[in-house]
Structure 1
């Protein structure tokens, strides 16, 4: 079996050094659509111009991985105990915890490990945790990525935590609309994720899709920016914890519509694609904020 649970969980964390500059941050924001609506709007320029630049917390997911770092699209997801073809995996969920505003440039040490492997019957879920630490020892962020490996379940393992309760039984407090461009996936992949699923029509067809799809983490970042701008007054540092499940694909050129329910310092989110009958994109989504 390509997944050896005992080996995966027992492996020592792999440790890497990363660095980034304001150009990496600017590229990331542009790949989420910053400046597309009005390139002269100050609300757009805070993401797309180095003077007064703010950093979306979701930049943590791509920091140090950009195209200039030599990243290349792998043919498999390979780590101790795990060796799975990319065509058989899906990004099932993502969580990010940040301890404060991210700097526009910096260096960090990132420790990566498999923290859990869940048995979902027809699939296994590999939970990959990454912790980033600044040179002074301060923890910058922790990410937890749920990777669904189709056909790898049924080994009698822990099925993982149950789904959280549903959305509040009332109308949302905010509804935010985020269009994407037809080139969005081609631009976003320059952040470092060169999986051909997002560019190569033949590869996408072999994976069961009609055409290349947008990265799940692009949708994740797009929704974060919409909430920061539309609910938090542009204060990216207010975001402390952001967790979602990737419930469906989004095609470049389609729209993300995000409904937001406020519950004190906790926001409940639902992102859908209106062009496809409000097909879900992100579900079981919450954001913890500091006001």
Structure 2
């Protein structure tokens, strides 16, 4: 009963971390004033549970609007009236904008509301606390790990909490001689209603993957820290901001810039970069991995992103083919029906080579596996996709994927990241395919000297066609060798989504509208699959084993239901193909493909 006879006032005590703090202190004998703003039922439940637990201190529920000085004063007065003293003032009331607007989209009213509760509220509680606390008193404020991580879409929240950190340190110094400590806790992502509000499961999962502990924090992880800070043992801890985050990176620009500065020194021979400039926060994780990939200073087994393991069945292969439009408008088309049906059984299906690009999981999952990488999903563009096929893709398989950063380039207003993935068959050990994802991160450039922008590239050589000249771009004045027209379905994105791409921009009208589209758009890799089908149909007699490599640059969006027209040029060797895919008069995809040389007979 370490706190027997002590009294704590806790704002935000009816829910989340504040609720658990009330229980923690009461179990140690403290009496608690449970401050709440709107949910009297939840606050009274806390009081009832404390009263029903043997050995706990007493508790009362007090309504307090922390943005009102009069309410805050009344809160302290009622606590003192009930318990006769106040020893600990704990600020847990807070809010964030659950629509997560960018700063440019945040209204003045939203900004003011966040600052009123998070910053002004903490200021008023701390100011009032000084009138009631004596020697041995404790003030605890609450910030957030996001102040260090600088997460996009958290602008108002981070700014308000950064202010709390700053004035908590100042207040600790101003309390000199009074025997009162002031400390600030900064929890990482914690499983509370406020954290979950407005987040997709994919976004939540990205927070989990960023934590070395492999999970979200729980309120039971945070409350004991508060209990320690108000204890006699914490008397020598004062004026501190303590991050309780399970190891999730702080990622302050000024504190973790060193890895890429060292990389620039190694590559360019000098390092001259203002650590407070640019948007390097998006790229620190990538640069660290690029450094390992470049073999600059670490051992071989530390270079790669951790392997991923996967398994798929014949049904996944057929579902993917349907997702990219097979078998076209004719459900019994003899050229494409074998991708979804074979009278001998599913194990005899043909497999589209582009299935290789989804074997290791979605591109977002691949990015999420890069330790320390933080980025705004709304600023990410899938720029290009390349694949090489080394062995026929099995109709079912269990395997693994190795991943590495093969390129990182500073383009001033954007950064270009290249991720290479090698897919292996576990049973045979065969290398099945190489896939290279080229990703544009808008707003993430400018992380190196403009006179000598950073550019790192270590692509794998074309293993199957080494020495063969690559195809040239499509000729502007030559009629295409083939023109293939295909009709996407209005539900195409919904169908392709079942193969793993859950980005809501392809399904949710509101998300699509926020991104500037009149309705949900089709996945780029779905369009990619349409183009692969067009070349296999026109140039390969329907035989997918003839395609050895395929590269596509995404140029524009496609709406589900639009007609896709693929224009195809074969060069003189009949082994190299260039193509342009159009929808609604727009060029949406363009690139090159390499076919087996046996097709020279065409």
2:389, 2:397 → 1: CA distance?
Answer: 15
* Contact 1:228–1:234, Cα closer than 8 Å, also in 2: yes
Report the Cα distance in structure 1 between the residues aligned to 2:526 and 2:282, rounded to whole angstroms.
28
TM-superposed deviation, 1:40: 2.3
- Aligned partner (choices 418, 421, 435) of residue 143 of structure 1: 435
**What are the Cα deviations for residues 252-288 of structure 1, in whole angstroms up to 9, with x where unaligned?**
0011111111012110111111x2xx211112x0000
Q: Distance in 2 between matches of 1:255 and 1:211?
A: 16
- Answer yes or no: is 1:157 the counterpart of 2:438: no
- The answer to whether the 8 A contact 2:391-2:431 is kept is no
Structural mapping, 1:103-142, within 5 Å: 103-135=394-426, 136-142=428-434
Deviations 1:113-162 (A, max 9, x none): 2221112221111111100112232210000001111100122322879x
Question: Could you say which residue in structure 2 is the equivalent of 1:266?
Answer: 576
* Structure 1 Cα separation of the partners of residues 323 and 412 of structure 2: 36
Of the candidates 47, 53, 56, which is equivalent to residue 352 of structure 2? 56
SS at 2:327's partner residue? coil
Supply the RMSD in Å over aligned alpha carbons: 2.2
From the two aligned structures, give the one with the greater strand fraction: 1
**Runs (4+) off by over 3 Å:** none
What secondary structure does 1:83 align onto? coil
d(CA) in 2 for partners of 1:62 and 1:50?
A: 23
Report the CA distance between 1:44 and its aligned residue. Answer: 3.0
Report the Cα offset of residue 80 of structure 1: 2.6
State the Cα distance separating 1:16 from its structure 2 match.
1.5
Specify which of 141, 155, 166 is matched with residue 473 of structure 2: 166
Q: Please give the alpha-carbon distance, in whole angstroms, between the structure 1 residues aligned to 2:373 and 2:393.
A: 31
Within 5 A, what are the aligned runs for 1:13-92? 13-51=305-343, 52-63=348-359, 65=361, 77=368, 79-92=370-383
TM-score under structure 1 normalisation?
Answer: 0.89
Matched, 1:185 2:496: no
Pick from 392, 398, 401 the counterpart of residue 101 of structure 1: 392
Q: Deviations over 1:204-249 (max 9, x none)?
A: 1222222211000000001101110122100100000100110111
Q: Do the aligned partners of 2:383 and 2:439 also contact (CA within 8 Å) in 1? A: yes
Q: Give, in angstroms, the shift of residue 77 of structure 1.
A: 4.7
Identify the residue that residue 288 of structure 1 maps to in structure 2. 594
- Work out which of the residue numbers 231, 249, 257 in structure 1 matches 2:539: 231
- For residues 194-205 of structure 1, the aligned pairs below 5 Å read 194-205=502-513
How far, CA to CA, are the matches of 1:160 and 1:255 in structure 2?
Answer: 37
Question: With CA pairs under 8 Å and 6+ residues apart, which has the higher RCO, 1 or 2?
Answer: 1
8 Å CA contact 1:97–1:240 kept in 2: the answer is yes
Q: Which runs of 5+ in 1 are unaligned?
A: 66-70
Structure that is richer in helix per residue: 2
Structure 1 residue 23: Cα displacement:
0.3
1:6 aligns with 2:287: yes
Bigger CA radius of gyration: 2
Contact 1:260–1:268 (Cα < 8 Å) also in 2:
yes
SS of the aligned residue for 1:79 comes to coil
Aligned pairs, number: 279
Check if 1:215 corresponds to 2:215.
Answer: no
Deviations 1:157-211 (A, max 9, x none): 22879xx953224111111111100000011011011011111111112222222
User: CA, structure 1 residues 64+26, in 2 after alignment: closer, same or farther (shift >3 Å)?
Assistant: farther
- The alpha-carbon deviation at position 82 of structure 1 amounts to 2.3
What TM-score does the superposition give when structure 2 sets the normalisation length?
A: 0.44
Alignment partners' CA distance in 2, 1:166 and 1:242:
13
Q: Work out whether residues 260 and 267 of structure 1, in 8 Å CA contact, stay in contact via their aligned partners in 2.
A: yes
Does the 8 A contact of 1:26 with 1:50 survive in 2?
no
